[in-house]
């Protein structure tokens, strides 16, 4: 029986999947099974899997698309490892990731259920590192994680199977942010630990779910339904998300939904001046919105450069 089950959900990302799987096979820690869950892809995903001749790779294919939560849950239900790791199909691990995480969980009491790492945010096209996220919270993190997803990329996480047995599977009723919901639930019962080094390559590209404001907005409402309105009124992350999604809609020319989200952002945080700026720009239509925002970015660029 493998020590670690690595779950890779995938949907129409054959061009990325090969590198993700390879990054697991290149780990210094080798006691793993790799569970690839194909969420009804229509590309050559199966051919990518067939390229590898390693009996540790197990392939499951949904006949109908079940979404991110459904794919992860299929992986969990078909896994056997003592520990479970998640890897998005467009991310990659550095070779020491699992070794360092397994060592931490093995040498900590079972009250520590989850360990996460730092990660690099990388532009997929240029391969340039855009930023580096360093973890800072460990132990009893519930009061922090209920307000903000301190983990960030789910590809950084390794957890004990007992965590899933305690809190259940991913919530398939949440369209976006379902990983945050899972970490909140786990943090009620288990302590978190981290490896400070950045051991994951988190790639930014046009095909990420975060580029879809419809799914992001739906996910935000799903989380509000589950945790109550205070999740927005007291939560900096969700207040910022209202602004971010509203701006995203406006950039895409969907002014109706953009203005709705920006008004919600003002109601949630009436002291944030940026909410009023973007709403004012939106009232002049999509073309002028882009022009105003572009001018603002050009005006503030010297200040940002001075900070760096």
- pLDDT band at residue 299 under the 50/70/90 scheme: confident
How many other CB atoms sit within 10 Å of the CB of residue 308?
A: 4
CB 25 within 8 A of CB 53: no
- Average pLDDT (42-60) is 93
pLDDT at position 220, please?
87
pLDDT at position 303, please?
58
31 burial level (CB within 10 Å; 0-12, 13-18, 19+):
middle
pLDDT at position 164, please?
98
pLDDT at position 233, please?
66
The angle, 0 to 180 degrees and rounded to 10, between the axes of the packed helices 255-268 and 213-227 is 30
Q: Are strands 57-61 and 32-38 parallel, antiparallel or unpaired?
A: parallel
pLDDT surpassing 80 at residue 300: no
As a dihedral over the C-alpha atoms of residue 265, residue 269, residue 270, residue 273, rounded to 10 degrees, the angle is -80
Mean pLDDT, all residues of the chain? 92
Tokens standing for 227? Answer: 């945790």
Q: What is the pTM assigned to this prediction? A: 0.89
Coil vs helix vs strand at 285: coil
Element (H, E) at 1: none
Tokens standing for 300? Answer: 């503030």
User: What pLDDT, in 10s, does the model give residues 212-257?
Assistant: 889 899 988 998 888 887 666 677 778 888 999 999 999 999 999 9
pLDDT surpassing 50 at residue 308: no
Residue whose entry in the numeric block shows the structure tokens 């995203």: 248
CA–CA dist 231, 213 (Å, integer): 19
CB 136 within 8 A of CB 196: no
- Average pLDDT (170-183) is 93
CB 92 within 8 A of CB 200: yes
The angle, 0 to 180 degrees and rounded to 10, between the axes of the packed helices 213-227 and 236-251 is 150
Per the DSSP assignment, residues forming a β-bridge with 93 are 200
């Amino acid at each position: 029986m493998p020590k670690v089950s690595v779950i890779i959900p995938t949907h129409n990302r054959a061009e990325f999947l090969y590198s993700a799987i390879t990054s697991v096979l290149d780990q210094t820690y080798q006691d793993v099974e790799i569970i690839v869950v194909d969420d009804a892809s229509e590309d050559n995903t199966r051919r990518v899997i067939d390229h590898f001749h390693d009996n540790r790779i197990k392939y499951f294919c949904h006949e109908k698309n079940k979404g991110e939560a459904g794919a992860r849950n299929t992986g969990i239900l078909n896994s056997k490892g003592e520990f479970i790791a998640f890897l998005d199909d467009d991310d990659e691990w550095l070779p020491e990731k699992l070794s360092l995480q397994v060592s931490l969980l093995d040498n900590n009491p079972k009250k520590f259920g989850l360990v996460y790492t730092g990660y690099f945010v990388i532009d997929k096209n240029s391969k340039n590192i855009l930023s580096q996220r360093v973890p800072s919270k460990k132990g009893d993190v519930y009061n922090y994680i209920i307000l903000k997803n301190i983990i960030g990329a789910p590809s950084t996480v390794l957890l004990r199977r007992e965590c899933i047995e305690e809190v259940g599977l991913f919530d398939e009723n949440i369209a976006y942010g379902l990983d945050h919901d899972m970490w909140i639930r786990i943090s009620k019962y288990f302590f978190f630990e981290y490896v400070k080094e950045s051991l994951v390559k988190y790639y930014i590209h046009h095909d990420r779910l975060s580029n879809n404001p419809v799914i992001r907005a739906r996910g935000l409402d799903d989380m509000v339904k589950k945790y109550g309105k205070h999740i927005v009124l007291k939560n900096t992350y969700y207040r910022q998300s209202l602004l971010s999604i509203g701006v995203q809609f406006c950039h895409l020319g969907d002014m109706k939904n953009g203005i709705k989200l920006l008004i919600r952002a003002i109601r949630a945080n009436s002291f944030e001046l940026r909410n009023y700026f973007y709403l004012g720009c939106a009232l002049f239509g999509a073309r002028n919105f882009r022009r105003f925002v572009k001018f603002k970015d050009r005006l503030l660029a010297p200040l940002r450069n001075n900070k760096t």
